[in-house]
Amino acid sequence: MTDEGDWAASLDETWARFEQGDVDQVGDALGALKRAAPDNALVFELDLAFVEATQGIQAAVDRAETVSEELRASLVARWAIADVLLRGEYFEGARALLEGLAEALSRGEQPAELADNEDALPQFAGDVWMALAEARHVMYETRAALAAAEQAVKAVPESAEARLVKAGILFDLGQLDDSEKVLAQALDRDGRLAEAYGLRGRVLTVKQDHAAADKAFARAHALAPDVFPLPVRMDEDTFVAHMEKTIERLPPAVRDYLNNIAIMVEDVPDVATFCEGDEPLSPGSLGVYRGAPPALVELEDKAPQYPHNIVLFRKNLEVSSRDEEDLVELIFTTLLHEIGHYLGLDEQDLYERDLH
């Protein structure tokens, strides 16, 4: 396979087999492609996807770190690395690569490997901007994430996925009506996008239109039952009883902190107050700690800070659970998360402790 046209045709065929799940034949064909075009970014992109599918995401991350400097100069190769890092939750590394790619696209640079494919160029730009929106979003830079999502929609205006990304960020900013509008646009483009119905259910939950929310969740469940279980519904008395049992499970040292904290239950956040500020809290939050963490307050200022309270949002917890057992466990981890805030831990600290 020495002729460029031969291996390019083979690459298209191998990608098609990969997407069909024909892993055995993909491995043999990919080996031949790597021998024929060892420094081709499109072959490298397929290689990363194959390694992830057969060996797992960490193996793909490890493979990405071995890339040659020649390959790293390619926009396509950098995109493939950033994509793997993002899925592997190496957010800072992914973010750095994606910011560089976005700057290159803004300067008018284009991937040389896609120069002859007019359809692929806008999709490449859309993918980069969507991934950058995700990276910024997960690092709690929500307004910057929205700007990237808007660029994604501009790049691929007919993409339902780009509008779904934008709608999710608008939801987290508390712009519920705008989120619903963009979700409708996404569903106009792909009426079987289960994620859009799931997000619509969350928007309607916060709006406290629970009947309409349940219809949206039912549609998401019908389209993707393994991904979108039907919400767990629990009356407030039962919820509080489970919460009290959950408190008994907390380690004694953690329970001691609760002597200074009132625990409350509300259905959903109040969007008007919850989403104030430059980086508002998401109205989809499962709970919130209200107060100034004693560890972060100067000694002479501590006295006026009490009482502290933790609020659990029952409806948001319900729609985030697969079954009653899962709901009880989610109450437990949410309480630990908010107690962590009381102790002065930020979201990154809590993420590292698997309390996100």
The pLDDT of 189-207, averaged and rounded, is 98
Half-sphere exposure (Cβ direction) of 51: Cα atoms closer than 13 Å: 19
Per-residue confidence band for 346, with pLDDT thresholds at 50, 70 and 90 = low
For residues 274 and 286, give the distance between their C-alpha atoms in angstroms, rounded to a whole number.
12
pLDDT at residue 205 tops 80: yes
Phi-psi region of 208 (alpha: psi -120 to 50; beta: other; left: phi over 0): left
pTM for the whole structure: 0.88
Q: Mind listing the pLDDT tens digit for each residue in 137-161?
A: 999 899 999 999 999 999 999 999 9
Instruction: Name the strand (E) or helix (H) holding 13.
Output: helix 4-19
pLDDT at residue 86 tops 50: yes
Q: Mind listing the pLDDT tens digit for each residue in 251-294?
A: 787 777 777 788 899 999 999 887 776 667 899 999 998 876 66
For residues 73 and 112, give the distance between their C-alpha atoms in angstroms, rounded to a whole number.
11
* Domains of the chain, CATH where assigned: 39-157 (1.25.40.10), 160-231 (1.25.40.10), 236-352 (3.30.2010.20)
Place of tokens 């729609």: 319
